[in-house]
Structure 1
Amino acid sequence: MTSIRSVCVYCGSSLGESQVYTAQAQILGRMLAENGIRLVYGGGRIGLMGVVAEATLAAGGEVVGIIPHHLHDWEVGHTGLTELHVVDSMHTRKRMMVEMSDAFIALPGGLGTLDEFFEIVTWRQLKLHDKPIIVLNTEDYWRPLLALIETVVERGFARRASTTLYTVVADAEAALALLKAAPASDQPAATGRM
């Protein structure tokens, strides 16, 4: 049994243009449930968010959603979760997601997913947490992002060590293998430091 008991998944409120994104979100949700790992996510019922939540629930897993009031209707807050927290702001949402999770996985997503990914990586760089961060690079979706980070390093705006703050995998099975091998962090999450 892994020492990672709770994983935050960042992903889109849209499905994207490839069915493979949906398939990988379904596999990840099922595998989290089968391995007794709780899903923490943005609380929506649409897009990849809804897919990963439904797959986790269907396989008997626990799902905690955290969604701000102003997005509850827009992202169609999921009312069938183990827990749904409707909070006052995006800042509160992101802070709670960090506090409730032992690791993080970025699936394909949009600007919000990019925001969450960069924040959690930056917090790790600043030693505000030491929890595993996994980039699930389905169909090479994140290749432009990874190339941008390489450019940032090459042009002297980040150290080469920055690229070790996260691990890139090709599929949900590889992500789960990393979770099972990773020790849980004993460092508390950063709170209220956004």
Structure 2
Amino acid sequence: MNKIKSIVVFCASSLGNSTIYEDQAKYVGYTFAQRNVQLVYGGGRAGLMGVVANAVLEKGGSVIGVIPHFLNSKEREHRGVTKLIIVDSMHDRKRIMNEYAEGVIALPGGFGTLEELFEMTTWAQLGLHGKPVGLLNINGFYDHLIKFMDHMVHEGLLRPENREMLLVGQTIEELLDQMENYAPQAVTKWIEKNEI
């Protein structure tokens, strides 16, 4: 078992329609602080992003925010984080977040969350990193996405072993346990000529 000391969290910059998302985001933050896991996130103060960061800080934990200057200029940054890094682009944001963290978790979110999650999962598939990447499936939020990924495997467009790279947990404790027991697989992406 590998103790993970720093995790990137991708999630919404809004709160959603159900209070369960806010409640669970807060609980994730409390759990990080309790386990001495440093939060690395997008640096915003709004939505679930802000909730997770505030919860970690409330319990005395460490938070690194990484935000592009065009968002920072709109005063969307969280000024109370342990360390705020201002970057030039969204790509720089993900690259630097990856450098600071030993794992990745996606909480509920929209297009931005999915884009960030799948870029990090693709990097793992290509062997650019060996970090665990997980979905926290709060209130069944990701059920349809999980079913769709299984459909991709069924249709022969995603290898089963690559599908298994994306961990899924119903609770933060379950997901952290999976991440700490994660062992990266050998890259098999380019074995067959006809695979995309």
Same fold? TM cut 0.5? yes
> Which structure 2 residues correspond to residues 116-155 of structure 1 after superposition, within 5 A?
116-155=116-155
Structure 2 counterpart of 1:60: 60
Distance in 2, Cα, partners of 1:115 & 1:49: 16
CA contact (8 A) 1:5 1:38 kept: yes
Which residue is 2:181 aligned to?
A: 182
CA distance in 1, matches of 2:183, 2:87: 27
2:111 aligned partner: 111
Letter in 1 for 2:181: A
- SS of the residue corresponding to residue 57 of structure 1 reads helix
Q: Deviation of residue 183 (structure 1)?
A: 6.6
SS at match of 2:149: helix
Gaps of 5+ in 1: 186-194
Alignment map for 1:60-99 (pairs within 5 Å): 60-74=60-74, 76-99=76-99
Q: Quick check: 1:31–1:176 contact (8 Å CA) kept in 2? A: no
TM-score (norm 2): 0.88
Following superposition, the deviation at residue 2 of structure 1 comes to 5.7
Greater shift, 170-179 or 159-168, is seen at: 170-179
Residue 129 of structure 1 aligns to a residue in which SS?
coil
Correspondence list, 1:21-40, <5 A: 21-40=21-40
Q: SS at 1:79's partner residue?
A: coil
Higher relative contact order (CA 8 A, sep 6+): 1
Please give the root-mean-square deviation of Cα atoms over the aligned residues, in Å.
Answer: 1.8
Q: Secondary structure at the match of 1:123?
A: helix
Misfit runs of 4+, over 4 Å = none
Deviations 1:131-152 (A, max 9, x none): 1111100011011211221222
CA deviation after TM superposition for structure 1 residue 75, in Å: 7.2
1:12-53 residue CA offsets vs partner (Å, 9 max, x unmatched): 001111111111111111111111110000000000000000
* Secondary structure of 1:167's aligned partner: strand
Structure 2, gaps ≥5 residues long: 185-196
2:12 is matched with which residue? 12
Alignment-derived partner of residue 166 in structure 1 = 166
Residue 8 of structure 1 aligns to a residue whose secondary structure is: strand
Distance 1:53 1:176 in 2: 18
CA distance in 1, matches of 2:66, 2:183: 22
Give the total of aligned pairs.
Answer: 184
SS at match of 2:104: strand
Letter in 2 for 1:6: S
Distance verdict in 2 for CA 1:183–1:71, change over 3 Å: same
